């Protein structure tokens, strides 16, 4: 618990660390006030029992303590407010860092996650980890307050207090240690099945047309039901175990209270008043200790339940801090402005995924500036991998990738070590297009600041992509909402809007990965005509299996035997 607490508080900002300290103090004040008030009640009862009457001073003091209790209630409301603010703001702070990680991590790390795993990490795990911090604080404070009540009990009841304290501690931690391994397993399984159920909802939504046409949704529904039932079963077991702990603790303590009370009533004799006052104190302390003890055990179990979330967040934050450290070191490295006067040269490229079969071996290819170049090959031969390599998304085992004189593998030019952004000169259309649910205008200018979008440029790019006429027939023109991932427009329109997005950015090199795969022959021809308009001014690199598109290029390469063979 302490390891998790130290790590999580350590990665918070200084402002949040300050809030955590304030929260600790505030959390301590409330139960400390309770034990003070309880001590005052014991003091008042002892005076009244001893003097057999209540003086005016005692009555007035008792009224004053009632007012103090009201103020404490207002203080508790403030505590609830800062509790929720700390958890939610802290979770947002961590989620922003993890979202930055998802945008900056290496492609190989990115490919190990699916969207639902990423969403769970950024939104759910961050809040679970903030709850770990709060639970840890509450556990230590409750332990401290319980120790205070133990002192009062031992002072008041001597040997009975000592025995009761030992029994109470044994009960608390016995319950936790007995169930902790099961609770941790429930947490891991709950997270796993939560991801599965959410993923199946995404699958059901994404495959709506196919399922609707097939008329058979039973397979998807059955998978969702199975995963959902497993998730629900785990949650029920976790809640049931917590209920068992609560019920056992409460009833065992209550049973002990009645047994002890009966014993003292039977043996008090003529000292009934003295024993009665002591028993009131004893029983009152036990009543106060029951919810505190359960809070400690429940908090420990909640932390165990969230351990998998902590491990995933820790892995993510480790990668995030490595990225930030690399960025800090890179601040002093010379920044180079990339040029594309000569073009792109790849020499002796060798690459494989995780020491698997080599995709490229001593491969070389030249893409001259101002030319259109097509790369073809059978499916799975490495066409997309080639693009990932020349765009700096993957790092080859060996070889040189030169943009004029800048080698993106070694990060150096003729003058030595330097850094450069490929995005300064390259624009990219991926094989899988993502469009958000906003307007066509915002999707074309996807990477531009909202306040700096050039509507005239948006229109020109749409025209060049051969889709402007379709858009102007829409009710709101370029301001038409297209639905999440472009569900309100056709596949061909989505592809051409993606082309317009690439054209909106200033570039020297346009990289297209199967950019016309979803287009019919007539539309593909229109897009080729658009590309012709910029050919000769810009360099175009196209990966395609459509020979009609490849033949429109100046140079054609085919990937064979882990190398590039020029066929045109």
Confidence of residue 142 (pLDDT cuts 50, 70, 90): confident
- How do 416-417 and 426-429 pair as beta strands? unpaired
pLDDT at 46 over 80: no
Task: Note the pLDDT of residue 209.
Answer: 61
For residue 186, give Cα distances in angstroms to 236, 240, 247, 268: 10, 12, 20, 49
Listed in sequence order, the residues at least 6 apart from 364 whose beta carbon sits closer than 8 Å to its beta carbon are 346, 347, 348, 349, 563, 564
pLDDT at 97 over 60: yes
pLDDT at 12 over 60: yes
The pLDDT tens digits of the residues spanning 528-542 come to 666 666 655 788 899
Q: Using CA atoms, how far apart are residues 505 and 423, in angstroms rounded to an integer?
A: 10
- Fold classification of 343-566 is Rossmann fold (3.40.50)
Q: Using CA atoms, how far apart are residues 429 and 542, in angstroms rounded to an integer?
A: 10
Residue 509 backbone dihedrals phi, psi, to 5 degrees? -125, 120
Element housing 226 (H / E): helix 218-267
Task: Note the pLDDT of residue 55.
Answer: 65
pLDDT at 398 over 90: yes
Q: Using CA atoms, how far apart are residues 312 and 121, in angstroms rounded to an integer?
A: 7
Mean pLDDT, all residues of the chain: 82
SS3 541: strand
Query: What is the number of other CB atoms lying within 10 angstroms of the CB of residue 22?
Result: 11
Return the percentage of the chain with pLDDT > 90, whole number. Answer: 19
Contact between residue 267 and residue 103 where contact means Cβ atoms under 8 Å apart: no
Average pLDDT on 178-203 reads: 84
Contact between residue 134 and residue 23 where contact means Cβ atoms under 8 Å apart: yes
Confidence of residue 107 (pLDDT cuts 50, 70, 90): confident
Q: How many helices (H) and strands (E) does the chain have?
A: 18, 12
What are the boundaries of each domain within the chain? 2-191+240-326, 343-566
Q: Using CA atoms, how far apart are residues 113 and 105, in angstroms rounded to an integer?
A: 12
Which class for 136: exposed (0-12), middle (13-18), buried (19 or more C-beta within 10 A)?
buried
Confidence of residue 555 (pLDDT cuts 50, 70, 90): very high
Average pLDDT on 164-170 reads: 81
Contact between residue 48 and residue 281 where contact means Cβ atoms under 8 Å apart: no
CATH class of 2-191+240-326: mainly alpha
- What's the distance, CA 263 to chain centroid? 56
Which residue, 528, 504, 483, is CA-closest to 208? 483
Q: Using CA atoms, how far apart are residues 359 and 561, in angstroms rounded to an integer?
A: 9
512, β-bridge pairs = 429, 542
For residue 46, give Cα distances in angstroms to 41, 146, 278, 519: 9, 22, 9, 90
pLDDT at 367 over 90: yes
Helix axes 455-464, 521-534, angle to 10 degrees: 120
Contact between residue 399 and residue 567 where contact means Cβ atoms under 8 Å apart: no
Task: Note the pLDDT of residue 549.
Answer: 78
Q: Using CA atoms, how far apart are residues 19 and 130, in angstroms rounded to an integer?
A: 12
The pLDDT tens digits of the residues spanning 285-302 come to 777 777 888 888 888 888
Which residue, 189, 204, 295, 200, is CA-closest to 242? 295
The pLDDT tens digits of the residues spanning 501-518 come to 888 887 889 898 887 666
Torsion of the alpha carbons at 276, 282, 286 and 287, rounded to the nearest 10: 40
Q: Using CA atoms, how far apart are residues 59 and 56, in angstroms rounded to an integer?
A: 5
SS3 343: strand
Residue where the block lists tokens 């036990």: 286
pLDDT at 45 over 70: no
The pLDDT tens digits of the residues spanning 316-331 come to 999 999 999 988 888 8
pLDDT at 521 over 90: no
Q: Using CA atoms, how far apart are residues 70 and 439, in angstroms rounded to an integer?
A: 54
Task: Note the pLDDT of residue 249.
Answer: 73
Q: Using CA atoms, how far apart are residues 388 and 401, in angstroms rounded to an integer?
A: 12
Average pLDDT on 394-419 reads: 92
Highest mean pLDDT among 29-38, 284-293, 380-389: 380-389
Listed in sequence order, the residues at least 6 apart from 49 whose beta carbon sits closer than 8 Å to its beta carbon are 273, 274, 277
pLDDT at 243 over 90: no
Average pLDDT on 122-132 reads: 91
Q: Using CA atoms, how far apart are residues 308 and 305, in angstroms rounded to an integer?
A: 7
Residue 560: left if φ>0, alpha if ψ -120 to 50, beta else—which one?
beta
Contact between residue 366 and residue 345 where contact means Cβ atoms under 8 Å apart: yes
pLDDT at 186 over 70: yes
Contact between residue 241 and residue 179 where contact means Cβ atoms under 8 Å apart: yes
Q: Using CA atoms, how far apart are residues 147 and 162, in angstroms rounded to an integer?
A: 12
């Amino acid at each position: 618990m302490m390891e998790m607490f130290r790590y999580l508080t350590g990665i918070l900002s200084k402002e949040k660390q300050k809030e955590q300290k304030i929260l600790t103090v505030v959390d301590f004040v409330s139960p400390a006030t309770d034990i003070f008030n309880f001590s005052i009640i014991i003091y008042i009862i002892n005076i009244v029992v001893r003097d057999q009457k209540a003086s005016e001073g005692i009555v007035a003091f008792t009224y004053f303590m009632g007012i103090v209790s009201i103020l404490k209630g207002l203080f508790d409301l403030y505590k609830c407010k800062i509790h929720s603010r700390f958890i939610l703001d802290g979770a947002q702070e961590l989620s922003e860092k993890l979202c930055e990680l998802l945008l900056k991590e290496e492609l190989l790390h990115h490919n190990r996650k699916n969207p639902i795993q990423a969403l769970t990490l950024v939104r759910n795990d961050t809040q679970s980890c903030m709850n770990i911090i709060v639970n840890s604080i509450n556990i230590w404070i409750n332990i401290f307050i319980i120790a205070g009540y133990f002192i009062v009990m031992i002072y008041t009841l001597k040997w009975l207090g000592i025995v009761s304290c030992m029994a109470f501690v044994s009960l608390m931690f016995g319950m936790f240690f007995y169930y902790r391994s099961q609770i941790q397993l429930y947490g891991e399984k709950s997270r796993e099945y939560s991801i599965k159920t959410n993923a199946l909802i995404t699958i059901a939504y994404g495959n709506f047309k196919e399922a609707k046409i097939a008329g058979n949704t039973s397979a998807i529904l059955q998978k969702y039901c199975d995963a959902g039932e497993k998730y629900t079963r785990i949650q029920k077991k976790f809640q049931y175990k917590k209920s068992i702990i609560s019920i056992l603790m409460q009833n065992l303590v209550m049973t002990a209270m009645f047994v002890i009370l009966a014993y003292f009533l039977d043996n008090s004799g003529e000292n009934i008043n003295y024993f009665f006052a002591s028993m009131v104190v004893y029983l009152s302390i036990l009543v106060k200790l029951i919810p505190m003890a359960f809070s400690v055990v429940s908090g420990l179990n909640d932390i165990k339940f969230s351990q998998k979330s902590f491990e995933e967040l820790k892995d993510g934050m480790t990668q995030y801090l490595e990225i930030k450290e690399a960025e800090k070191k890179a601040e002093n490295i010379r920044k180079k402005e990339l040029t594309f006067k000569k073009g792109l040269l790849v020499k002796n490229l060798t690459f494989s995924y995780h020491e698997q079969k080599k995709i490229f071996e001593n491969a070389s290819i030249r893409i001259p500036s101002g030319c259109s170049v097509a790369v073809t090959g059978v499916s799975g031969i490495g066409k997309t991998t080639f693009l990932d390599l020349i765009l700096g998304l993957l790092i080859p085992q060996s070889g040189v990738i030169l943009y004029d004189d800048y080698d993106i593998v070694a990060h150096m030019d003729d003058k030595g070590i330097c850094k450069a952004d490929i995005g300064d000169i390259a624009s990219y259309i991926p094989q899988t297009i993502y469009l958000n649910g906003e307007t066509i205008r915002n999707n074309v200018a996807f990477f531009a600041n909202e306040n700096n979008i050039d509507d005239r440029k948006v229109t020109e790019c749409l025209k060049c992509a051969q889709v402007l006429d379709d858009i102007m027939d829409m009710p709101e023109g370029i301001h038409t909402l297209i639905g999440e991932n472009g569900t309100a427009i056709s596949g061909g329109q989505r592809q051409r809007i993606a082309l317009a997005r690439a054209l909106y950015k200033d570039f020297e090199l346009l990289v297209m990965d199967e950019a016309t795969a979803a287009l019919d022959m007539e539309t593909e021809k229109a897009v080729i005509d658009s590309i012709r308009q910029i050919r000769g001014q810009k360099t175009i690199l196209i990966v395609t299996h459509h020979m009609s598109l490849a033949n429109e290029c100046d140079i054609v390469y085919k990937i064979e035997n882990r190398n590039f063979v020029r066929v045109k």
